[in-house]
Amino acid sequence: MTLAILASRALAGADAPAVRVETHLGVGLPAFTVVGLPDTEVRESRERVRAAIVNSGFEFPNGRITVNLSPADLPKASARFDLPIALSVLLASGQIAIDDGKGEVVPLALQNMVFAGELSLTGALVPVRAALVLAMAVSREQPGATMILPSANAAEAAWVPDLNVLAANTLAEVAAHLMGNARLPKGEPRAWNQMDAPPCLSDVRGQPMARRALEVAAAGGHSMLMVGPPGAGKSMLAQRLPGLLPPLTRVQALESAAISSLTGQPATALHRQPPFRAPHHGASAVALIGGGAVPRPGEISLAHHGVLFLDELPEFTRKSLESLREPLETGRVAIARARHAVEYPARFQLISAMNPCPCGWRGHPKRPCACTPDQVARYVSRLSGPLLDRLDLLIELPATGTDCLELPPGEPSEAVRERVARCRALQQERQGGVNARLEGAAIDAHCELETDAQQLLVKAIQRLHGSARVTHRVLRVARTVADLDAQPRIQARHVAEALQYRCRLG
Ligand SMILES: [Zn+2]
């Protein structure tokens, strides 16, 4: 054979499009060219491939070798093509022969196989970034395919269903497997982490309204802003939200681990607990939203299927805050690049917190506030109206004194989680998703109000000078309150409770 074609995968955002590695061995002066607009990394791979072939006991063929990575317009900044390039050179030069029984080489035998792995100069395989993302794309688009990966990556990829994952340590091992001289072992999946013990809600003393609001947020998937002085328990409450949410499904846990693997950390465990991310307000917009020279997902994507906690919300840069708006609506974030726009999933539940004023003590019964009305207004105005309009629950937390330590412990997370799970099951059955994501006609269809509830809502929205967007927020929250109460129609008391979670800032 003078032409060999193998399959691999590129990385584009959280997706891994198919790449064909085509290698042709022609006559002429010795040359080794890689075409298909590869980046510097791929050109460097030529040197690694050459050394790995020689050091694995093969010969580097004499002649004109042309490698084409197709399609040409995919981003290919990675060494993961080393293994398929080296194998295709060995196939094209006849050093790996796949016998069809009649002495002929059969290229089709490799059709349902996908290869990825970096080579060291010795011919050993080095793990690649985001193998889980590659494996999930292969499983989705070529179910039943065989993937040959470096051993460390095979352990991650083995979690993925509908995929036959084989683990290899060297180029020579892969060659021996293809020729039928030896069998590569199957990838052994690492443990499936059942549940870390999350902090318990019973640690939070007092704050009955905030605890209830947190339960409503958990039940309906609602975003929330807590306003209160330092020490009121805002962070404690936020940290306890993941423990109130239903555990992730296997698919969600895989998606979550796949996003983490894009940051370069190999996934070592699958977590059933929803992720909790709490970036500092000093974090850059890129760290929060994603991006960079080699694009990486940001905190909002690492919080996919989980909770994003932004403490001291007004201290985040305006750019960061404004770029939250789109993912809050769509559950995705698009990052514009010079040549390739990439997209990451970002379906997170936003929990945020802020002080009532720059010094923090405004409205406190004992500590005086040192801020002028002007300073307070400026502080609050850092949060734009459009961002506030996208938050479902805005609640005020009163200051707590030392006397709250004498209160009995509150209800534990487990009891709340059971109610949340029942409420979520109800929403799933009715509309196939959480109330926070009800839109347009679905709001009319599923948020039926009793007459007095309707009147109460209309009056309150007039008083609040609320927009249609705010009306919908209140309705969605009222729907969740009614669901927790197991009532098919929204009653006046449900609307009244939802309106309590619309405190005014400043
Ligand atoms: Zn103040």
- Residue 194 in any domain: the answer is no
- For position 503, what pLDDT does the model report? 81
- For position 38, what pLDDT does the model report? 60
CATH of the domain at 475: 1.10.8
| Ligand 1 centroid from CA 105, angstroms | 79
| Ligand 1 centroid from CA 391, angstroms | 24
| Ligand 1 centroid from CA 373, angstroms | 9
CATH of the domain at 91: 3.30.230.10
Residues 53/86, Cβ–Cβ less than 8 Å: yes
| Ligand 1 centroid from CA 196, angstroms | 39
- Measure the CA–CA gap between 15 and 2, rounded to whole angstroms: 32
Q: How many DSSP H helices and E strands does the chain contain?
A: 19, 20
Q: Do 90 and 223 fall into the same domain? A: no
Given 351, 378, 413, which residue is the final one in a domain? 413
- For position 213, what pLDDT does the model report? 97
- Residue 427 in any domain: the answer is no
Q: Do 168 and 269 fall into the same domain? A: no
Q: Do 401 and 447 fall into the same domain? A: no
| Ligand 1 centroid from CA 182, angstroms | 73
| Ligand 1 centroid from CA 381, angstroms | 15
* Residue at 324: amino acid letter: L
Q: Do 133 and 224 fall into the same domain? A: no
* Residue at 343: amino acid letter: E
Q: Do 152 and 246 fall into the same domain? A: no
- Measure the CA–CA gap between 230 and 224, rounded to whole angstroms: 18
| Ligand 1 centroid from CA 357, angstroms | 5
Distance set, CA 370 to CA 144, 165, 361, 376 (Å): 66, 63, 8, 10
- Measure the CA–CA gap between 433 and 443, rounded to whole angstroms: 12
Q: Do 219 and 75 fall into the same domain? A: no
| Ligand 1 centroid from CA 359, angstroms | 4
- Measure the CA–CA gap between 226 and 504, rounded to whole angstroms: 11
Q: State both tokens at 222.
A: 């609602």
- Residue 233 in any domain: the answer is yes
Q: Do 403 and 470 fall into the same domain? A: no
- Measure the CA–CA gap between 497 and 185, rounded to whole angstroms: 59
- Residue 463 in any domain: the answer is yes
The β-bridge partners of 33 are 66
- For position 108, what pLDDT does the model report? 44
pLDDT in tens, the chain (506 residues): 588 899 999 988 889 999 999 999 998 888 888 887 566 776 788 899 999 999 999 999 989 999 998 888 777 777 889 999 999 999 998 888 766 666 555 554 577 899 999 999 999 999 998 999 999 999 999 999 999 999 989 988 999 999 999 999 999 999 999 988 899 999 988 777 666 678 999 988 888 899 999 999 999 999 999 999 998 899 999 999 999 999 999 899 999 999 998 988 777 778 888 999 999 999 999 999 998 887 899 999 999 999 999 999 999 998 899 899 899 989 999 988 766 788 999 999 999 999 999 999 988 888 899 999 999 999 998 888 888 888 999 999 988 766 666 777 789 999 999 999 999 999 999 999 999 999 989 999 999 999 999 999 999 988 887 788 889 999 999 999 999 999 999 999 999 999 999 887 75
Cβ contacts of 255 within 8 Å, gap of 6 or more: 136, 304, 305, 345
Task: Give the total number of structural domains in the chain.
Answer: 3
| Ligand 1 centroid from CA 393, angstroms | 23
- Residue 469 in any domain: the answer is yes
- Residue 433 in any domain: the answer is no
Q: Do 221 and 126 fall into the same domain? A: no
- For position 52, what pLDDT does the model report? 97
The two beta strands, 3-9 and 18-26, are antiparallel
CATH of the domain at 249: 3.40.50.300
Q: Do 23 and 155 fall into the same domain? A: yes
- Measure the CA–CA gap between 139 and 14, rounded to whole angstroms: 14
Q: Do 212 and 159 fall into the same domain? A: no
User: Which domain does 498 fall in, by range?
Assistant: 438-506
End-to-end CA gap in the chain: 76
| Ligand 1 centroid from CA 310, angstroms | 20
Q: How many CB atoms lie within 10 A of CB 197?
A: 8
Q: How many CB atoms lie within 10 A of CB 199?
A: 14
- Residue 432 in any domain: the answer is no
- Measure the CA–CA gap between 25 and 66, rounded to whole angstroms: 7
| Ligand 1 centroid from CA 426, angstroms | 43
Backbone angles phi, psi at 502, to 5 degrees: -130, 55
Q: Do 380 and 455 fall into the same domain? A: no
Distance set, CA 242 to CA 151, 205, 228, 274 (Å): 33, 18, 21, 6
| Ligand 1 centroid from CA 286, angstroms | 31
Residues 234/398, Cβ–Cβ less than 8 Å: no
- Residue 311 in any domain: the answer is yes
Neighbour-count burial for 377-406, b at 16+ CB within 10 Å, e otherwise: eebbeebeeebeebbbbbbbbebbeeeeee
Q: Do 266 and 217 fall into the same domain? A: yes
Residues 458/194, Cβ–Cβ less than 8 Å: no
